[in-house]
Amino acid sequence: MSSQINTTGKNIALDAIGAVCTYMALYTDAAGTTEVTGGSPAYARKAITWNAASSGSKVTAASVTFDIPAGATIRAMGICTAITAGTQHAVDEPPTVETAVGQATYAVPSFTLNMT
């Protein structure tokens, strides 16, 4: 017999993930394995905050803007446990796939975790 996690359980699990995943990162590959580097000002992961989980989803509380170097193509975004290194716990498609012509900024309006 297998059972399914109800919405309350999903919300508890998502809030626990949000408690440890407090940074967002950008990646140049769709799998989220090659993180953006370089630029001036230099690319860096950004701290994020989360709204409380509701209905089996958890959404970041505010948009995040990154500095990205010329030539970087943003193909994925993810959430991580540390500002450098740490562990990535989720990756998703970005709002748009863009290539920076020169040094630029890239805005992520929100990141949503869903538990189905």
Alpha carbon distance 25, 112 (integer Å)? 14
- CB count within 10 Å of CB 107 equals 10
In this structure, the chain runs to a length of: 116
Burial label, 85 (beta-carbon count in 10 A; 0-12, 13-18, 19+)? exposed
CA dist 52 → 36, 56, 104 (Å): 29, 10, 32
Per-residue confidence (pLDDT) for residue 24, from 0 to 100: 97
Closest to 66 in 3D by CA, of 52, 93, 50, 47: 47
Q: How high is the mean pLDDT in each 10-residue block of the chain (116 residues)?
A: 90 97 97 97 98 96 97 97 96 94 95 90
Helix, strand, coil: what percent of the chain each, to 5? Answer: 10, 35, 55
Per-residue confidence (pLDDT) for residue 74, from 0 to 100: 97
Per-residue confidence (pLDDT) for residue 1, from 0 to 100: 73
Tell me phi and psi for residue 49, to 5 degrees. -125, 160
pTM of the model as a whole: 0.93
Q: Which two tokens stand for residue 3?
A: 């059972």
Per-residue confidence (pLDDT) for residue 17, from 0 to 100: 97
Per-residue confidence (pLDDT) for residue 116, from 0 to 100: 80
Domain coordinates in residue numbering, the chain: 7-114
